[in-house]
Structure 1
Amino acid sequence: MEALNTDGKIHCRTLWISDVHLGSIHCKADYLLALLDRVKCERLYLVGDIVDVWAMHRRVFWPEAHNQVLRKLLKLSRKQVEIIYIPGNHDQNFREFCGSEFGNVHLRQEAVHDTADGRRFLVIHGDELDYAVRYSRLNRAIGDIAYDFLMWVNRWVNRGRELMGKPYWSLAKWVKGHIAQAEQAITAYQDAAVLMTRQRGLDGIICGHLHHPVIRQYEDVLYCNDGDWVENCTALVEDFCGSLHLIRGIGSPDSAVPVLFAETATSTP
């Protein structure tokens, strides 16, 4: 990986992070802080759902680690890291400020990113593509409740695994990979993303929203999902040659070193 330096840090041109869900009990802010301390980038995209306003309507959960994430992002912007913030559906309250500039932080509805090797990528949160997954409001509500339950179970499972010295494991990710309906929904979503990208004459798309990190080549379009900081703890980086990589920040929050998760695109099934 071109972006991995010998000092144990990742030096890259661009970093994409989404679905942090600050304000939610499921947010793994400590792991994100560990990653941000070890990644050096020129440009940072915050690809939506950074703050979970929905969760805070139900219950306010805001420990000091969530404050530290915000302070770290502001510190990066003062160090001349260009930050592009694209609000998602959970922080859609900030969409009314799209087009505004706050120092070196730019709020945008979407963006087009030019890689070092000349490719052009659409950057959106991804809730714009929910139309491709045709579920009723009732089904979506049930799905939200089920997801929250899975994440609650997941916390207790991983507390046990931590006591046994075992690495983090995502129950929600396992369910997504083993339930046919979930796989079909993800496929439909990705197909819609590829179609949108192709219609706009771009080379690829980078989004979040699904909590399903992947880099996949669909003929002439590269689909990238940077994952989340609730269950997968992944981010997307562009090295100085223009190649895209998924990295994972899992480990001890006090000593986690970002590791390569996916370097090359997988082919369309």
Structure 2
Amino acid sequence: MQKQQHFSSVFISDIHLGNQDCKAEFLLDFLNNISCDKLFLVGDIVDLWQMTKQFRWPAAHNDVLHKIMALSHGNTQVIYLPGNHDEPLQKYQGLQFGDVKICREYIHTANDNKKYLVFHGDQCDGDVTLGKFQAWIGDKGYDLLLFLNRHYNRYKAWRDGSYWSLAGYIKSRIKGANKAIYRYKLAACKRAKAKGLDGVICGHIHHPEQDEVLGVSYINDGDWVENCSALVENMDGSMEILHWTGLNQAQTLKFPIKKAKKAA
């Protein structure tokens, strides 16, 4: 990618500033190498949950916030859609803090006139959640995945400096995780379809993907904990997910569009 490539819109979510697994340096490098007309912060930008357990705020995390604010003061419209980890900000929906607009949901019209429902995705938790015991097992398993991912990529950084999501690779091969992801996609697309929209753009589950469910385009922009990914809208309205693999290194993720089965 060339420096300062310009996009119509950029969607990022699940940064989790304040969390030790946040890849703030990668995100800052990404933001320094692009420009856009609109920047959507699709929830879980600051991990207020984690910060109540242990306060951690490295300089790189502060630099990311300063960069976002600088963009909002310039030619970029910044729209913040709080999620579950930054839930206290949800009560400010409809208000504007400086040059940042806060919304719980937003309908975005792309340059090809397709309309997308944009939201974090925790609104769909009731359609995905399993029992309390399964949820506890899932949390502990996810903590283990992040631990493995953290140490594996320290080794990768020492070897060649590139980043690869071991956690995402393992998670994609767990049958139960794939079932939960599909239920989430189905719930998100049902919400967009009920509003008569063409697609949905969300985050929340840390799984970047483009798919089609119930005739609705499903796009998940991923995260900056496991995958270091962002969704970009090109000037013609087309959407693509970029994986930021290292300093000033981008890779476009390709997803074959699968026709999902209709819900029973």
Place the TM-score, normalised by the shorter chain, in its bin.
over 0.9
Q: Deviations 1:27-79 (Å, cap 9, x if unpaired)? A: 00000000000111000000000000111111111100010001001100110
Residue aligning to 1:138 = 133
Residue aligning to 1:242 = 237
Residue aligning to 2:164 = 169
Query: In the aligned structure 1, how far is the partner of 2:241 from the partner of 2:250?
Result: 10
Q: Does 1:268 align with 2:259?
A: yes
Query: In the aligned structure 2, how far is the partner of 1:112 from the partner of 1:209?
Result: 18
Query: In the aligned structure 1, how far is the partner of 2:214 from the partner of 2:141?
Result: 35
- Structure 1 residue 168 displacement after superposition: 2.1
Relative to structure 2, which stretch is displaced further, 189-198 or 239-248?
Answer: 189-198
Query: In the aligned structure 1, how far is the partner of 2:159 from the partner of 2:249?
Result: 21
Residue aligning to 1:68 = 63
Equivalent position amino acid for 2:248 in 1: A
**Alpha-carbon RMSD:** 1.5
Relative to structure 2, which stretch is displaced further, 176-185 or 22-31?
Answer: 176-185
Using structure 1 for the length normalisation, give the TM-score: 0.92
> What SS does the corresponding residue of 2:249 show, helix, strand or coil?
coil
Instruction: Structure 2: give runs of 5+ residues left out of the alignment.
Output: none
> What SS does the corresponding residue of 1:43 show, helix, strand or coil?
strand
| Conservation of the 8 A alpha-carbon contact between 1:217 and 1:265 | no
Residue aligning to 2:38 = 43
Residue aligning to 1:185 = 180
Using structure 2 for the length normalisation, give the TM-score: 0.94
| Conservation of the 8 A alpha-carbon contact between 1:110 and 1:122 | yes
> What SS does the corresponding residue of 2:172 show, helix, strand or coil?
helix
Residue aligning to 1:55 = 50
| Conservation of the 8 A alpha-carbon contact between 1:151 and 1:172 | yes
Please give the residue correspondences for 1:1-269 in structure 2 after superposition, counting only pairs within 5 Å.
7-165=2-160, 167-218=162-213, 220-251=215-246, 255-262=247-254, 266-269=257-260
Aligned residue-pair number: 260
Equivalent position amino acid for 1:116 in 2: N
Query: In the aligned structure 1, how far is the partner of 2:249 from the partner of 2:45?
Result: 22
Query: In the aligned structure 1, how far is the partner of 2:132 from the partner of 2:46?
Result: 23
Query: In the aligned structure 2, how far is the partner of 1:138 from the partner of 1:57?
Result: 23
After TM superposition, the runs of 4+ consecutive aligned structure 1 residues lying more than 6 A away are none
- Structure 1 residue 219 displacement after superposition: 5.3
Cα 1:192/1:150, change in 2 over 3 Å = same
> What SS does the corresponding residue of 1:122 show, helix, strand or coil?
strand
Equivalent position amino acid for 2:259 in 1: T
Percent identity of paired positions between Structure 1 and Structure 2: 41
Instruction: Structure 1: give runs of 5+ residues left out of the alignment.
Output: none
Equivalent position amino acid for 1:83 in 2: V
| Conservation of the 8 A alpha-carbon contact between 2:185 and 2:213 | no
Query: In the aligned structure 1, how far is the partner of 2:52 from the partner of 2:34?
Result: 32
| Conservation of the 8 A alpha-carbon contact between 2:164 and 2:245 | no
> What SS does the corresponding residue of 1:266 show, helix, strand or coil?
coil
